[in-house]
Structure 1
Amino acid sequence: MHAQNQNLLQALNDCIAACEHCATACLQEQDVKMMARCISLDRDCADICALTARFVARGSEHAEHLLRECAEICRACAAECMRHQHMEHCRQCAEACRRCEEACMAGVAA
């Protein structure tokens, strides 16, 4: 597998793990209702990253479409998590989402 794809797949998988962890941690927060948008975006982001990783891994001709969508959702998730950056899980998730967004856009440009 091409090194760029390996880096992209790593970023996607890191983002999945960070988003899943963040969503679970957000559910443990005292004011869960305040975290609703964060949890929702975490779940959307983890799901699109997982689907995108599968398309990239198999070299699908449709991977580029998903990479663009994935980058958009990662950007939205990072922005929401930054609103709660005082929580370590949100800060880490925002960082993973930003790295994934950059990797997705690099994948589109390749």
Structure 2
Amino acid sequence: MSHEKYRSCIEACVECAQACEHCADSCLSESDVQKMAECIRTDRDCAQACWTAAAFMSRGSQFAEDVCRICASICDACAQECQKHETDHCQKCAQACRDCAEQCRQMAGAAA
């Protein structure tokens, strides 16, 4: 499958990865960083999963659908963690994660 068919999912993954990178960095500036530790860890995992999924789709890998299923699961977990925090960066990250998870499930043919 051509990477052009993956365009909207690739874009969602890149947007999510950027939101997660920003969220993790912003969490490090919060007054109680320890309280944000799990958010930071999850953001970092999610960003890595999204960058990886975008790369697999960009090169039309035969494993792109499998990677996207995993990415959707990680995005769901990150959205759940981020929505626990009232900060604007966490709320924006949670939304980007939900959007990415939906795109990845659709791409992988496992829309929930």
- Bin for the TM-score computed over the shorter chain: over 0.9
Runs of 4 or more, structure 1, over 4 Å off, are 1-4
For 2:108, what is the secondary structure of its paired residue?
helix
Aligned to 1:60: 61
- Distance (Å, rounded) in 2 between the aligned partners of 1:4 and 1:38: 32
Residue 94 of structure 1, CA deviation: 0.2
How many aligned positions are there?
109
For 1:109, what is the secondary structure of its paired residue?
coil
Residue 64 of structure 1, CA deviation: 1.2
Aligned to 1:109: 109
**Deviation digits for residues 27-76 of structure 1 (CA, Å, limit 9, x no counterpart):** 00010000000000000000011111110011101111101110000000
Structure 2 unmatched runs, 5+: none
Residue 3 of structure 1, CA deviation: 5.3
Identity of aligned residues (%): 49
Residue 4 of structure 1, CA deviation: 4.3
Note the 1:31-42 alignment, pairs <5 A. 31-42=32-43
- Distance (Å, rounded) in 1 between the aligned partners of 2:44 and 2:20: 7
Structure 1 unmatched runs, 5+: none
- Distance (Å, rounded) in 2 between the aligned partners of 1:82 and 1:96: 11
- Distance (Å, rounded) in 2 between the aligned partners of 1:104 and 1:23: 22
Normalization by structure 1: what TM-score? 0.95
Residue identity opposite 2:94 in structure 1: A
Note the 1:1-110 alignment, pairs <5 A. 4-84=5-85, 86-109=86-109
Contact 2:23 2:93 in 1 (8 A): yes
